Amino acid sequence: MNAARPALYLLFLASGAAGLAHQVLWARRFGALFGSAAGGAALVTALFMAGLGLGARWGGAWADRLHARDARWPMRAFAAAELAIGTWALAVGQLLPLLERPVAVLSRYALDDRGWASLSLASELLRYVLGTAMVLPATLLMGATLPLLIRHPVHAPGRETSIRIGAPYAVNTLGAALGTWATDA
Per-domain boundaries in the chain? 4-184
pLDDT of residue 137: 94
pLDDT of residue 161: 66
Query: Cβ neighbours of residue 20 under 8 Å, at least 6 residues apart?
Result: 175, 176, 177, 179, 180, 183
pLDDT of residue 24: 83
pTM of the model: 0.80
- pLDDT band of 1, cuts 50, 70, 90: very low
pLDDT of residue 139: 93
Q: pLDDT at residue 55 above 90?
A: yes
Q: pLDDT at residue 77 above 70?
A: yes
Task: Please give the sequence-ordered ranges of beta strands (E in DSSP) within the chain, or none if there are none.
Answer: 109-111, 117-119
More reliable by pLDDT, 121 or 160: 121
Q: 119 forms bridges with which residues in the sheet?
A: 109
Q: pLDDT at residue 84 above 80?
A: yes
Distance CA 171, CA 87 (A): 24
Q: pLDDT at residue 36 above 80?
A: no
Three-class DSSP category at 12: helix
- Whether 183 and 24 have beta carbons less than 8 Å apart is answered as yes
pLDDT of residue 156: 60
